Amino acid sequence: MTRRAAAAALAACVGAAALAGCATSPPQPDPVQLQLADLGTRLTRVERVVDNRSLLDLSNQLEATRADQRTLHNEIDELRHRLDQDRKRELALYADLDGRLKKLEAEQAAVGGVGAAGAGTGTAGAGGGAGAAGAADQSAAPTASANAAASGGASASDQSAASPASSASAAGGDQAAYQAAFDQLKGGDYTKAASAFKRFLADYPSSDYAPNAQYWIGWTYYVNREFEPALHAFQAVIDDYPSSAKVPDAMLNVGYCEVELKHRAEARRVLGQVIAKYPGTSAARLAAKRLAEMRAESR
C-alpha cells in the first residue's frame, strides 16, 4: 500500500469518528424557548391564584346573600306572628261587641214585652221609653220621657207648655237619633255610624246617651285601624264623662290603641290602671289578658 492510500484511509477513519461523535452528543436547548416555557408556567400559576380569589369572592357573596335571606325569613315570620296576634285581638273585640249587642237586643225584647203588658194600665209611655233606652245601650241612663212616664205621666196641657228641649226629649228625639246611629253600627257601616254619632253629639250634647255616642265614635275608628283618632275619641269619654259606665271600656281601648301605636310602656301603664281601678270587670279581665300577651311577645 502506498503512502497516499494509507493517508486517505486514515482521513476516512477520522471523518467517520467525527461524524459518530456528532451523532451521539445531545442537542443544546434554545434559551428563548426555555424563557417562554418558564413564562407560561408562571402565567398558569397566576391564573390559578386569580381564579381561586374569584371563587372565594363568589363564595363570600353567596354566604352574604344566604344570611340576608335568613334575615328576611325571620322578619317575615315575625310579621306573620304579629298579624296573627292582631287578627286574634280583633276577633276577640268583635266577639265582645257581638255579645254586647245580643244582650242589648235581648233586653230590648224583654222591656218591650213589659211595655206592651203595661199598656192597659197607663204605663205604655214608661215601657216604650225604657225599651228604646235598652235598645240603644245598656249603660245609658233613663231619658226624660221615661222618667216623666214613670212618675205618672204629664197631661196634654203640660206637654204643650213644656220647653222646646223638653218637648224634643219627651218625643224621643235623642233616642231616635241615637238608635238610628246605633243601627248603622250594628249593620257594620262604621263610617256612616261615626258620622251619625257625631251629628247626635252636635244636636244633643247634654243627652244621657252622649257618653255612649262618644265611645262608639272611638270604636268606629278602631275597627278601621285608625288608632290615633280612636285613642283621642276614647280618651274624650274618660275626660268629658268621668261618671259614665263607659269609662272602663274606654280606658281599656285606650290601652289597645297604645299597643297598636307601638307605645308599649304607655300601653302597660293604661292597662294596669284599668285592672287597678275596675277590678272584677270584663274590662279588667281583658286588660290582664292583653298584658299577658305582651309579656309573652317580649320573650
The per-residue pLDDT for range 234-266, each reduced to its tens digit, is 999 999 999 999 999 999 999 999 999 999 999
Q: What is the predicted pLDDT for the residue at 173?
A: 83
Q: What is the predicted pLDDT for the residue at 71?
A: 80
Using 50, 70 and 90 to split pLDDT, how confident is the model at 15? Answer: low
Please state, in angstroms and rounded to a whole number, the distance separating the CA atoms of residues 102 and 116. Answer: 21
Determine how many CB atoms are found less than 10 A away from the CB of residue 16: 10
**Exposed/middle/buried for 220, CB within 10 Å: 0-12, 13-18, 19+?**
buried
Let me know: does 178 contact 139? Beta carbons within 8 Å.
Answer: no
Mean pLDDT on 206-228? 94
Q: What is the predicted pLDDT for the residue at 150?
A: 30
Higher model confidence: residue 115 or residue 97?
97
Q: Please give the model's pTM, rounded to 2 decimal places.
A: 0.50
Question: Identity (one letter) of the amino acid at 200?
Answer: F
Q: What is the predicted pLDDT for the residue at 14?
A: 58
Q: Which three cell numbers stand for residue 39?
A: 413564562
Q: Which residue has the cell 469518528?
A: 17
- 88-149+173-297 domain in CATH 3.20.20.150? no
Q: What is the predicted pLDDT for the residue at 165?
A: 40
pLDDT at residue 119 tops 50? no
Residue in 146, 175, 145, 142 with CA at minimum distance from that of residue 159:
145
Please state, in angstroms and rounded to a whole number, the distance separating the CA atoms of residues 257 and 221. Answer: 10
Q: Which residues contact 273 (CB under 8 A, 6 or more apart)?
A: 251
The pLDDT mean for the chain works out to: 73
Using 50, 70 and 90 to split pLDDT, how confident is the model at 11? Answer: low
Residue in 295, 299, 286 with CA at minimum distance from that of residue 88:
286
**Exposed/middle/buried for 251, CB within 10 Å: 0-12, 13-18, 19+?**
buried
Q: What is the predicted pLDDT for the residue at 84?
A: 65
